[in-house]
Amino acid sequence: MKFFIDTANLAQIREANDLGILDGVTTNPSLMAKEGVKGNDAIMNHYKTICEIVDGDISAEVFSTDFDGIVAEGKKLHAIHKNIVVKVPMIKDGVKAIKWFTDNGIKTNCTLVFSAGQAILAAKAGAAYVSPFIGRIDDSGWDGVELIAQIANIYSIQGFKTEILAASIRSALHIIKCAEAGADVCTCPLDSILGLLKHPLTDIGLAKFLEDAKKM
The catalytic site residues sit at: 87
- Report the residue number, 30 or 213, with the smaller CB distance to ligand E4P: 30
Positive or negative: CA dihedral 17, 170, 121, 61: negative
Q: How far is the CB of 177 from ligand E4P (least distance, A)?
A: 15
- Report the residue number, 33 or 204, with the smaller CB distance to ligand E4P: 33
- Report the residue number, 189 or 199, with the smaller CB distance to ligand E4P: 189
- Report the residue number, 26 or 162, with the smaller CB distance to ligand E4P: 26
Contact positions toward ligand E4P, by CB under 6 A? 6, 26, 28, 111, 131, 133, 135-136, 167-168, 187
Q: How far is the CB of 6 from ligand E4P (least distance, A)?
A: 5
- Report the residue number, 143 or 203, with the smaller CB distance to ligand E4P: 143
Contact 75, 69 (CB under 8 A): no
101 backbone dihedrals φ, ψ, rounded to 5°: -60, -40
Beta bridge partners of 186: 3, 166
In angstroms, the Cα distances linking 167 to 66, 69, 101, 208, 212 are: 24, 25, 22, 38, 43
Beta bridge partners of 4: 24, 187
In angstroms, the Cα distances linking 59 to 33, 140, 159, 181 are: 15, 25, 24, 23
209: three-class secondary structure by DSSP: helix
31: number of Cβ within 10 Å: 17
Residue nearest to ligand E4P (CB): 168
Q: How far apart are CA 188 and CA 177, in angstroms?
A: 13
